[in-house]
Amino acid sequence: MSIDTATGQEAPAQLSSERVKDIFSSIAKKYERFNAVSSFGAYRTWLAGMMKQAPIGASDDVLDLAGGTGDVAFAVAKAKHPRHIQCTDLVDEMLDVARAHFADGASGEVPIDFEVVDAQNIPYADASYDAITMAYGIRNMPERERALSEMLRVLKPGGALVCLEFSTPPMRLWRALYGFYLKHLVPFWGGLITGDREGFVYLSRSIKAFPDQKGLAELMEKAGFRDITWKNYTGGIAAVHVAKKPEA
Ligand SMILES: C[S@@+](CC[C@H](N)C(=O)[O-])C[C@H]1O[C@@H](n2cnc3c(N)ncnc32)[C@H](O)[C@@H]1O
């Protein structure tokens, strides 16, 4: 099934894919500034939490999906020193920013290759990665079941998917405040900083339409992942899920 990622309703996949390409190719250069301002720096804490939970070792091959400007890949490089990272994204303009950071030494000694990849159709062999990382990616994919099946396919048995995504605060008051912030302030801030208000209206809508912590875990389980756990950050505004591919 494919959906409109802004509403969660069934729709042709092309609608969401074209929109996401338009948005991220035009905001690529301003993306990092917006991230920092809109989350009041919290995204750094969430990324640190993701690194803490990620079961990645020094001999691992890591695939970063929806890698954007490379934040996750560089954090993995610094925190885990894996053998190799494949940093991928649907939008080459986002990867161009990542390539520039890499050229400035953002990954230290860790080798990183960059490639345009649609996470719903991963062009790599079965069982080729020890771990997959993905931050703020799955929410933007209209064919989520297919994407998760692809992730399972390219992971080695026992390998882990580590997924950071916006989620749903369990406490009602916090959820209401956050809902107001999403609906009114994110489009305002985003528009002011990047000049692309529509992109941030989409961000708010896609977060609202995205499954909560349990819903995402269920999607992962349906795709064949097991031992699924999650940890909330900032009262559940964001969550990191870790899901394992069963041993053969
Ligand atoms: C909000 S950004 C996150 C980037 C990065 N992971 C980070 O933490 O800053 C979302 C990224 O998902 C990418 N994306 C959206 N749909 C995708 C797909 N089907 N396959 C791969 N990447 C996708 C977009 O191009 C964009 O770079």
What residue segments make up the domains of the chain, in order of their start?
A: 13-244
Residues 6+ positions from 18 with CB-CB distance below 8 Å: none
Residues 6+ positions from 191 with CB-CB distance below 8 Å: 197, 200
State the architecture of 13-244 in CATH terms: 3-Layer(aba) Sandwich (3.40)
Centre of ligand 1 from the C-alpha of residue 165, in Å:
11
Q: How far is CA 77 from CA 34, 52, 71, in A?
A: 23, 13, 10
* Residue to probe by mutation, ligand 1, list 136, 145, 146, 186, most atoms within 8 Å of CB: 136
C-alpha 54/C-alpha 130 separation (Å) is 11
Helix, strand, or coil here: 246?
Answer: coil
C-alpha 173/C-alpha 199 separation (Å) is 27
The predicted-structure confidence for 92-121, as pLDDT tens digits, reads as follows 999 999 999 999 999 999 999 999 999 999
Q: What is the mean pLDDT of residues 78-86?
A: 98
Centre of ligand 1 from the C-alpha of residue 54, in Å:
19
Q: Decide: 18 and 149 in contact? Cβ < 8 Å.
A: no
The predicted-structure confidence for 170-218, as pLDDT tens digits, reads as follows 999 999 999 999 988 888 888 887 787 888 888 899 999 999 999 999 9
CA-wise closest residue to 180 among 165, 169, 192, 191: 169
- Going by alpha carbons, the residue nearest to atom 27 of ligand 1 is 68
Centre of ligand 1 from the C-alpha of residue 185, in Å:
22
C-alpha 90/C-alpha 11 separation (Å) is 20
**Which amino acid is located at 135 in the chain?**
A
Question: Residue 33: is its pLDDT beyond 80?
Answer: no
What's residue 134's pLDDT? 98
Q: What is the mean pLDDT of residues 74-84?
A: 98
